[in-house]
Structures are given as C-alpha cells and as structure tokens.
Amino acid sequence: MAFQDESIAKIQKYTRLIRQKQEKGKDTKASEPALLPIYEYEEIQVFHHSISLSLPKQFFDEKLAIENKYLWSKNKELAMVLSKQALEGEEIQIEQLKNTMETELKKNDIYVELEEFQEVQEELLRKITIACRMPTTAGYMYQTQLYLIGHKDWVNLTITCVEKKKYLYSEMIAYIQQHIKVEFPNES
C-alpha cells in the first residue's frame, strides 16, 4: 500500500510541475527533450525452451502462465500475451487473417483502425505484423501483433498499451519483436 501511495504522490508531483511550467508560458514538449527509459534486457525461455524472448529486467508487475499462453502486464498501461498453437488445416494466408480479424471485430461491435499489416517470408518461417488502435472507455489503446508461422505451428505475440504512453514503450516493443527466437519442430 505504501508503494501505491508513493507512486500516486510522484505522479501528482510530476503533474503539478508540468502545470507550473505550462502556466509560466513554457511549452514543455518543445523546450525539453523527452527522456525515454533505457531498459536492460534478459533472455527468458518459454514453451519448453522452444521460444526465447528478450524482456526488460524487473519491468513487468504481473506474470502468468496458463495452458498455451504466457501473460505479462505493467501497471495497466501495457500487457503482453504470447501463445503457441498447432496449425490446423490450411496454411494461414495474410488476406484471410485480415478478413477474419475484421469480420470478428465487426461481429462483436469492436471498432479498430488498422495502421499496419505486413508479411515477410523468411527461410523457415513467415512473419505477419499487425498494428492497430482502438477506442476504449479509458482512451485509445495501441496494439501490435506478431505472428510467426512455421510448417506445423504458429506463435502469436500481442502487445497492447495505452496509446498516450506508446512513445514510452515503442522502442521496447520493437526490441522484443525483433529478438524473439522460435524453434519450430522438424518439418518431417
């Protein structure tokens, strides 16, 4: 409880300082460079060492592993879900994925603005990246999904954050996505 009170006090102090600077006629965004956090990363292994992730040390408040999913969260500002599943039936096509996503969202009355939808074919896997933003009662949320598709399995890494904090986390999100390593089973 003391930690929460200290955090609230720090946020209130920071907010008060920003208001004071703005009242003095200073534009804090133009006059001072934004100080982005620098993270130290550690590699973790999940799914019986078939996936390794580089995550910031001591960053996430909560971690949970259930069935075929791993979940991490930070102060209700950022959440990350990693799942791995066997491919069933036909190979996943990017247009099919996009259409299914849009259909399911519309069916559930969820409005989403797609910002990025791309596919890259690598030697042993396909990478599909989707980035979007969506309105919520708490403001806009930013979400990025990375699909890594092998011959028999696929992995999905979904990272969601409060859009107004996206600038704080964008470099970290990109780092995590670029440094994920997946060992798919042999294609025999």
Q: Report pLDDT digits (tens) over 38-58.
A: 889 999 999 988 999 999 999
pLDDT for 10 equals 59
Task: Tell me the domain boundaries of the chain.
Answer: 1-33, 37-182
DSSP state of 77: T
CATH of 37-182, one of 3.40.50.620, 3.30.365.10, 3.40.1000.10, 3.30.70.141: 3.40.1000.10
Residue 82: Cβ-neighbour burial (10 angstroms; 0-12, 13-18, 19+): buried
SS3 of 186, please?
coil
What is the average pLDDT value for the chain, to the nearest integer? Answer: 82
Q: How confident is the model at residue 25 (pLDDT cuts 50, 70, 90)?
A: low
Structure tokens at 188: 């025999």
SS3 of 72, please?
strand
pLDDT digits (tens, 9 = 90+) for 133-143: 999 888 899 99
pLDDT for 138 equals 80
- Using the predicted structure, report yes or no on whether residue 126 has a pLDDT greater than 70: yes
Torsion of CA 98, 101, 117, 53, to 10 degrees: -120
pLDDT digits (tens, 9 = 90+) for 165-177: 998 999 999 999 9
- Looking from the CA of 75 toward its CB, the CA atoms found within 13 Å total 10
Please state, in angstroms and rounded to a whole number, the distance separating the CA atoms of residues 118 and 120: 7
Least confident of 14-18, 58-62, 138-142: 14-18
Q: How confident is the model at residue 11 (pLDDT cuts 50, 70, 90)?
A: low
DSSP state of 124: S
Quote the pTM value.
0.75
Contact 136, 118 (CB under 8 A): no
